[in-house]
Amino acid sequence: MRDRVLSWLEKNVSNHRLQHILGVEQTCIDLARRHQLNEQQAAQAGLMHDLAKFFSPRKLLKIAKAAKLPLDEICINHPHLIHAEVGAVVAQQEFGVKDPEILTAIANHTLGSPQMNKLSCVVFIADALEPNRGDNTELEAMRNVAQKNLYKCVQQTSDYSLKYLVSNQKIIHPRTILTRNWALTLAR
């Protein structure tokens, strides 16, 4: 199935995004191995996490409504925030993915979710920390934490994202804050 997904991605995302996706896939495998999780599930979720990244706002909302995904005002007004949930729908419909853990990990990779399982944590972290994201000291420190404590790294990844969103005057979805607070309670 990997070849089929790659062929689809080559037609539906930019080359730059494809390199990011491949980096997420490998980072997911590495983190799954480190934390004794299923590497195949991690690889598949990582490879498929951005299936809907380049869908138009109209297409994102159409798929979300057809799939009866819950949509709040923020997501309706900023549909790019639902590309993760829509990506899980595409994984299911286009590629026949049935594994609920993989689908949930895809759906949670952008905003996170309180009570995420470890596979979802891995994809959430990998999306931010894969090597193509850069090499500053903060990212390097977070990559080191990811090897030891997934929950601490989810909290740090959320903090990193929140700092970016605030400094760039972007909309913050409350789920990101809820995810951060949840991870903070487990990170100790």
- CA distances (Å), origin 174, targets 111, 115, 170: 9, 15, 13
Residues 147 and 122: beta-carbon distance below 8 Å: no
Q: At what angle do helices 15-34 and 39-48 cross, to 10 degrees?
A: 160
- CA distances (Å), origin 93, targets 15, 25, 51, 88, 106: 24, 20, 12, 9, 14
Which residue has tokens 């809907």?
52
**What's the pTM?**
0.96
- CA distances (Å), origin 159, targets 95, 118, 128, 139, 178: 33, 19, 11, 12, 11
Q: Quote the CA–CA distance of 69 and 15 in Å, as a whole number.
A: 29
Q: Read off the pLDDT of residues 74-94 as tens digits, 9 standing for 90 and up.
A: 999 999 999 999 999 999 999
Q: What share of the chain is helix, strand, coil (3-state, %, to 5)?
A: 75, 0, 25
Q: Read off the pLDDT of residues 100-112 as tens digits, 9 standing for 90 and up.
A: 999 999 999 999 9
CATH of the domain at 60: 1.10.3210.10
- Which range of residues forms the domain containing residue 137? 2-186
Number of domains in the chain: 1
pLDDT of residue 187: 83
Average per-residue pLDDT for the chain: 97
